[in-house]
Amino acid sequence: MTEPTPIGHGGRLTIDLAALRANWRILAKAAECPETAAVIKADAYGSGIARAAPALWAEGCRTFFVAHLSEGLSARRALPDAVIYVLNGFPPGTARAYRDADLRPVLGSRDEVAEWAAANREAGRRPAALHVDTGMNRLGFAVPEALALAGDPVMAEAGFDLLMSHLVSAEVEHDPLTDRQAAAFARVRAAYPGLRASLANSSGDFLASCRADLARPGYALYGGNPRPGHDNPMRPVMRLEAGILQVREVEAGATAGYNARWTAREPRRLATLSLGYADGFPRASTGRGEAVVGGVRCPFVGNVSMDLIILDVTEAPREALFRGAPATLIGDGLDLETVGRNAGTIGYEILTGLGRRYERVYRD
């Protein structure tokens, strides 16, 4: 894109809904499961649930996962007829809210199951998912507990229609933990023969051992690479650009930014971008981040500030450097993994931390 960024916004986030839909298709094919869902927690990984969820629905996705009740309510507004599971279970006293919005909690403790079963006895049976923990030690019943509970009447009263577990390191090739988890999951599955089963996240979608009835990709839908170290099979969905506010020439010895953390060793040309850590662009990118200007990757210099980033644009073509000219922070070869690495984190955190003050443009 070559249009200047709009007045009044520091940056422009462009969300390619056609790419999102294509990615769901790619994942549905790779997963080789009867059904492929979409994980749309954290505002659809920063892409905007109100637009992303209906786009996925239009492509044929019928089952969705969010993390919290409040996200479930947003998802329900966007998806009146979808099946929506809430991964973090349900907080005490909220069964009514789940039932009213036709949301299915993912239950992983005796207390949760007992409370959901009680609501089902009182007001009629509503489905839920059963979460079994096969190695994360985070959420869900431990495997022996799940096996022991298999014949318990309370489990029938809870109305389970899905059995799920979550992979610890599916993105790590040949990690023996993945196969151990798949084997443990198979044991629990055998004890709950009536339930559909779901194990794979984005990376698990590409592993034969993780096939089940329902795949649950998230990150890869939004363009993240589910197979680190291999070419990314996904299409990029998110593009982030910011406008250049000023360009200046500095002499050797000049410093840039708060606390003068960078010093020019020779005369350099600097450009100031209208975005910073208050936009969700990590301050930890200081000294490592990059932006593409006129097709050239330019390094950040000095500390990332709240609303501004300084770039060394000495190598960029002069005609690409004007007031309002775009610099690309995600896109043009800067993929989510690179941006994450440059901030000492992962692409997931970059996506889900994207700020609220960008102009959002949806393309389809």
Ligand X SMILES: *Cc1c(COP(=O)(O)O)cnc(C)c1O
Residue ranges that bind ligand X, judged by CB under 6 A: 39, 41, 87, 166, 201-202, 216-220
Numbers of helices and strands, H then E, in the chain: 11, 20
Q: Which H helix or E strand runs over 16?
A: strand 11-16
**29 annotated active-site:** no
Nearer residue to ligand X within complex by CB, 133 or 332: 133
Tokens (6 digits) for 164: 């799920």
187 vs 181: CA distance, rounded Å? 10
In contact, 207 and 220? CB cutoff 8 Å? no
The distance of closest approach from Cβ of residue 39 to ligand X in the complex, given in angstroms and rounded to an integer, is 4
Query: Of the candidates 352, 331, 350, which has an alpha carbon nearest to the alpha carbon of residue 19?
Result: 331
**258 annotated active-site:** yes
The distance of closest approach from Cβ of residue 19 to ligand X in the complex, given in angstroms and rounded to an integer, is 16
Nearer residue to ligand X within complex by CB, 5 or 202: 202
Q: Which of 222, 258, 277, 362 is catalytic?
A: 258
Q: Give backbone dihedrals phi and psi of 63, rounded to 5 degrees, phi first.
A: -125, 135
Nearer residue to ligand X within complex by CB, 66 or 313: 66
Nearer residue to ligand X within complex by CB, 66 or 242: 66
Classify 239 as helix, strand or coil.
strand
In contact, 205 and 28? CB cutoff 8 Å? no
The distance of closest approach from Cβ of residue 227 to ligand X in the complex, given in angstroms and rounded to an integer, is 12
Nearer residue to ligand X within complex by CB, 52 or 87: 87
Q: Which residue is nearest to ligand X (CB)?
A: 218
Q: What is the DSSP letter of 318?
A: G
Nearer residue to ligand X within complex by CB, 196 or 216: 216
The distance of closest approach from Cβ of residue 37 to ligand X in the complex, given in angstroms and rounded to an integer, is 9
What is the end-to-end Cα distance of the chain in Å, rounded? 15
Q: Which of 29, 41, 98, 192 is catalytic?
A: 41
Question: How is the chain split among helix, strand and coil, in percent rounded to 5?
Answer: 35, 25, 40
Distances (CA, A) of 254 to 69, 125, 257, 299: 52, 70, 10, 16
Q: Interhelix angle for 17-31 vs 49-59, to 10°?
A: 50
The distance of closest approach from Cβ of residue 304 to ligand X in the complex, given in angstroms and rounded to an integer, is 26
CB atoms within 10 A of CB 234: 25
The distance of closest approach from Cβ of residue 294 to ligand X in the complex, given in angstroms and rounded to an integer, is 34
Q: What is the DSSP letter of 286?
A: T
Which of the residues are catalytic? 41, 258
